[in-house]
C-alpha cells in the first residue's frame, strides 16, 4: 500500500528550514524558499511513500511479535494450570 505524504503547515516550515540549513552548512548553497518548497514536495511525493510503507511494515512486524508473546504467555498459563 502506498500513501502520499501530506505535511501540515508547521511540518512543511520545519522541513524547509532543515533543508535550507543543510544546504547552507553542507554545500554552501543558499536555497530560496520556493526552491526548498519544491524540493520538499518532491521528497514528499517520491520518497514519502517509501518511508511511510517502511513504517507500516515495521509496525506490523512489531505488533505480530507482541501478539506472539501474548500467545506464548497464554500457553504457559494453560500448561501451568
Instruction: Say if residues 25 and 71 touch (Cβ distance below 8 Å).
Output: no
Stated pTM of the model:
0.69
Q: Under a CB-based contact definition with an 8 Å cutoff, are residues 8 and 55 in contact?
A: no
Q: How does pLDDT run across 26-40, given as a tens digit for each residue?
A: 999 999 999 999 999
Tens digits of per-residue pLDDT, 45-57? 999 999 999 999 9
Q: Is 59 exposed, middle or buried (0-12, 13-18, 19+ CB in 10 A)?
A: exposed
Alpha carbons 43 and 52: distance in angstroms, whole number: 12
* Residue recorded with cell 543543510: 22
Amino acid at each position: 500500500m502506498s500513501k502520499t505524504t501530506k505535511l501540515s503547515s508547521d511540518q512543511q516550515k520545519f522541513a524547509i528550514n532543515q533543508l535550507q540549513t543543510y544546504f547552507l552548512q553542507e554545500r554552501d548553497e543558499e536555497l530560496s524558499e520556493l526552491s526548498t518548497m519544491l524540493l520538499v514536495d518532491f521528497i514528499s511525493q517520491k520518497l514519502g511513500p517509501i518511508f511511510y510503507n517502511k513504517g507500516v511494515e515495521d509496525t506490523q512486524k512489531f505488533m505480530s511479535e507482541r501478539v506472539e508473546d501474548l500467545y506464548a504467555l497464554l500457553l504457559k498459563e494453560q500448561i501451568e494450570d
